[in-house]
Chain A
């Protein structure tokens, strides 16, 4: 078990150049630092929040980080449309809870799935983790969906950007459905991977499928469209070479523990918490379930009396809002 949960970060071949060298023996934004940021989140729960009140509930419940969204996936599914970057004001009011007040200092992730299709547009850029500005540079190649949103988010000081439609450099969380997709994202610079799952459904089945696919493919790693050195490293470690979380459809403590037993390092919970009857209680229960994923007694205790769970949707052809995983969610 210990082996499968250990992350030995390997820099991607196309790693961003060592940068911001401080005088001689210190450096910022190295791969060790970038992946280290993600490693500190392991064994934890990252919660989607859309306002400061939810961020506070997440913190009280023991979330290790929050993800600021304009709308949670369940609402996007119900109302249609795309998920944009959060209103910067919303992220700025989070600071009182999360960002600016580093005494609390939950890392904040912001969403910038823009629906803005620039898959053919390229921008040469890298994000400087140290001063959190988007810095244009000619060395690391990045295709960014909506780079203006990225600039805004960096300006106001988010810690990670979640982006699965386009490739990024720097510690970005990317969704993946299988090993090939995961390793391609890592080779593009992702230091943090999650399952795509089927967001906003309260149905964990797709997340399970993606995690199992990754796991099975790691066991027989052939015919995978991925950089060979990363494939080799993955085979050696018998796990993804970066931190890897579950995401998409997690609604109960049991869902969260299931994903942990399948080998994930932690979980993202979106609609599952704030679309349920008692968000604070459920949030805390899911946090406990991730820690004690192998302890059925604690799992049984923390699953009790949580009130109503979010409505679970069947993932079939009639799924309202369609498959977000296909959109790159």
Chain B
């Protein structure tokens, strides 16, 4: 049976995610839809929250009556957030706008918007990622004003998938292997979080990973 993966399409690079999903050739065919309303969301088995402006996306979600349905969805189904989507999936955000950034939560991390400062806010980096198809081939991470993971909730079952190599860090960290700030891709249960943009490359391995490792097992279990 086919599996429906929605892409939250309020603002940002949602069409690129859909394109990558459409290129997947898996055992179970993937149907991808753009999600703009609660009705669209109801049709989905899993969801991707794309990059864009996180405050704009949150505002549009509120105006579309999507905040509560999204929170409910995240409690039950696999969700992947990229960049702005990763911010929205976080438990808390440091340095939000004055009256607070509306978050959906779901992944037990504290995150900072544009945490490395303007000097390194946008760049590409070759990443080694655990669990991808062809794991020895580096994945090109495109970081566009990327958020930075500041820390994990204690006893959260976070699985780290990729870190920025130490030589690419803008400043030396005391212990780069234990510093959350080097983490750029992680998983918590059925949820996936990347601070960069796999959808901006032609490489579909992250989409493949999300489908095979997060979405299919959750469907089997339910």
Residues on A facing B (Cβ under 8 Å)? 2-3, 5-9, 22-30, 32-33, 36-37, 39-44, 59, 62-65, 101-106, 129-132, 157, 284, 287-288, 290-292, 295, 298
Contacts of B52 in A (CB 8 A): 40-44, 64
Q: Are B12 and A287 closer than 8 Å at their CB atoms?
A: no
- Measured as residues with beta carbon below 8 angstroms from the partner, the interface class of chain B is 35 or more
13 cross-chain CB contacts under 8 A: A6-B16, A8-B19, A9-B200, A26-B168, A28-B123, A33-B142, A40-B52, A40-B145, A44-B52, A59-B55, A62-B60, A102-B113, A132-B118
Q: Are A43 and B123 closer than 8 Å at their CB atoms?
A: no
A298 to chain B, nearest CB (A): 8
Known: A33-B122, A36-B122, A130-B120. A105 touches B114 (CB 8 A): yes
Contacts of B95 in A (CB 8 A): 102-103
Contacts of A103 in B (CB 8 A): 95-97, 113-114
Q: Are B36 and A105 closer than 8 Å at their CB atoms?
A: no
Q: Choose from A25, A101, A105, A292 the contact partner of B165 (Cβ within 8 Å).
A: A25
B124 to chain A, nearest CB (A): 5
- Please name 19 further chain A to chain B contacts, defined as beta carbons within 8 Å, in addition to the given A6-B19, A42-B15, sorted by A numbering: A2-B34, A7-B15, A30-B124, A32-B200, A36-B144, A37-B144, A40-B52, A40-B144, A59-B55, A62-B11, A62-B60, A64-B53, A102-B117, A102-B118, A104-B55, A106-B55, A129-B122, A291-B11, A291-B36
Q: Are B200 and A39 closer than 8 Å at their CB atoms?
A: yes
Interfacial residues of chain B within 119-156, with CB under 8 A of chain A in the complex: 119-120, 122-126, 138, 140, 142-145
Q: Are B12 and A43 closer than 8 Å at their CB atoms?
A: yes
Interface assignment of B63: CB less than 8 Å from any CB of chain A: yes
Q: State the 3 A-B residue pairs at the shortest beta-carbon distance, nearest first.
A: A5-B15, A25-B126, A103-B95
Q: Is the interface of B mostly helix, strand, loop or mixed?
A: mixed
A83 to chain B, nearest CB (A): 26
Contacts of A298 in B (CB 8 A): 64
Q: Are B16 and A39 closer than 8 Å at their CB atoms?
A: yes
Q: Are A157 and B118 closer than 8 Å at their CB atoms?
A: yes
Q: In the complex, A105 Cα to B83 Cα: how many Å?
A: 14
Q: Are A25 and B122 closer than 8 Å at their CB atoms?
A: no
Q: Are A25 and B138 closer than 8 Å at their CB atoms?
A: yes
A53 to chain B, nearest CB (A): 15
Interface assignment of B14: CB less than 8 Å from any CB of chain A: yes
Contacts of A39 in B (CB 8 A): 13, 16, 51, 144, 200
Interface assignment of B186: CB less than 8 Å from any CB of chain A: no
Known: A103-B113, A288-B63. A62 touches B56 (CB 8 A): yes
- Cβ-closest chain A residue relative to B117: A102
Contacts of A42 in B (CB 8 A): 11-15, 52
Interface assignment of B182: CB less than 8 Å from any CB of chain A: no
Q: Are B9 and A43 closer than 8 Å at their CB atoms?
A: yes
Contacts of B63 in A (CB 8 A): 62, 284, 288
Q: Are B142 and A36 closer than 8 Å at their CB atoms?
A: yes
Interface assignment of B22: CB less than 8 Å from any CB of chain A: yes
A186 to chain B, nearest CB (A): 17
- Cβ-closest chain B residue relative to A288: B63
Q: In the complex, A298 Cα to B37 Cα: how many Å?
A: 10
Q: Are A40 and B12 closer than 8 Å at their CB atoms?
A: yes
Known: A2-B18, A37-B144. A26 touches B125 (CB 8 A): yes
Interface assignment of B27: CB less than 8 Å from any CB of chain A: no
Q: Are A36 and B197 closer than 8 Å at their CB atoms?
A: yes
Q: In the complex, A39 Cα to B200 Cα: how many Å?
A: 9
- Cβ-closest chain B residue relative to A129: B122
A173 to chain B, nearest CB (A): 16
Q: Are B119 and A131 closer than 8 Å at their CB atoms?
A: yes
Contacts of B55 in A (CB 8 A): 59, 62, 104, 106
Q: Are A40 and B22 closer than 8 Å at their CB atoms?
A: no
A105 to chain B, nearest CB (A): 6
Q: Are B124 and A27 closer than 8 Å at their CB atoms?
A: yes
Known: A64-B52, A130-B120, A292-B36. A23 touches B15 (CB 8 A): no
B145 to chain A, nearest CB (A): 7
B57 to chain A, nearest CB (A): 9
- Cβ-closest chain B residue relative to A285: B63
Contacts of B114 in A (CB 8 A): 102-103, 105
Q: Are B144 and A43 closer than 8 Å at their CB atoms?
A: no
Interface assignment of B10: CB less than 8 Å from any CB of chain A: yes
Interface assignment of B84: CB less than 8 Å from any CB of chain A: yes
Q: Are B19 and A3 closer than 8 Å at their CB atoms?
A: yes
